[in-house]
Structure 1
């Protein structure tokens, strides 16, 4: 009987799981590819958010920035700031910490804000000069395009967007973040 062959059984089992996932509305993605190595001392400093997926906690945010500071205990201090509704609006900020969960690359981190809010922060790409970065989560529900400057060239933006799409991110959800020029 052909279904007793190990290869056929693997294919049938994979098909069954894919069918169940599809019926439940789940999407199965290949593993997310992260940056080969991130020098966290070079990654430290200020990053401007160029674009992001809509986030409840970032509603009405403009001029969004993230500040990363390595600490002596090996963790990273994270301070996220934005202005509410306009460049002159009230400043909102939240402080947290991040720790590396994959020391061989430093590209996979967990970020914690407060007691309960914790999430993945995977650096998918950073250019050699650490001028821009693509950051996401393995479930493809969160994505950020970051830059060291408040303005990014359309060419670089389109390239990052395209590479995020290649990894299964629904890039049509990206919202550009207003930044002062």
Structure 2
């Protein structure tokens, strides 16, 4: 029975480290430029962020080379702030925007940066292990309309259901 559970667990974990077939991680990625605070501008909804506004992600380098991750958001239905702490590691080369992130011990999920403002590192388009996970992150609480348009067009082209994209409220309004 233990062997069956171990195999099931490995298969489950392996499934969380993939990416949609249409998505490729960015190259020429520079982690030092990516570190810091990001605002969640838009996403596909999922249970662990449902009803959350003012969502941010903070990325800092740990002494062991992993990335400390702090996701924070205001759960408006309960009127409280929620925070999740985790860590991320590169899946392959550190020059490729493909990491795995864990908030629950040995369980990792994909974090694939498939589009990035390489010039100024002001916005990033992120995918998870499949087309049900999608985020637009920005260094500022709002983005120019052309960035949002580019995000939605590229996401649709890559097979994401852009009709279900949620625009995240930033600030207290």
Q: What is the CA–CA distance in structure 2 between the aligned matches of 1:63 and 1:117, rounded to whole Å? A: 26
Look up the match of 1:84: 75
State the TM-score, normalized to the length of structure 2.
Answer: 0.81
Look up the match of 1:102: 92
* Among 56, 79, 88, the residue aligned to 2:47: 56
2:125 touches 2:135 (CA, 8 Å); kept in 1? yes
* Among 22, 28, 32, the residue aligned to 1:41: 32
Instruction: Supply the RMSD in Å over aligned alpha carbons.
Output: 1.9
Equivalent pairs, count: 152
* Among 23, 29, 33, the residue aligned to 1:32: 23
Tell me which of the two structures has the higher relative contact order, counting C-alpha pairs closer than 8 angstroms and 6 or more residues apart: 2
2:74 touches 2:81 (CA, 8 Å); kept in 1? yes
How far residue 153 of structure 1 moved from its aligned partner, in angstroms, is 1.3
Q: Considering only CA atoms, is the larger Rg found in Structure 1 or Structure 2?
A: 1
Q: Structure 2 stretches of 5 or more lacking a match? A: 1-19
Q: Provide the secondary structure at the position in 2 that maps to 1:164.
A: helix
The answer to whether the aligner puts 1:126 opposite 2:109 as a matched pair is: no
CA offsets, 1:106-138, max 9 Å, x none?
311100002264210001111020000000024
State the TM-score, normalized to the length of structure 1.
Answer: 0.78
114-123 vs 133-142, greater mean Cα deviation: 114-123
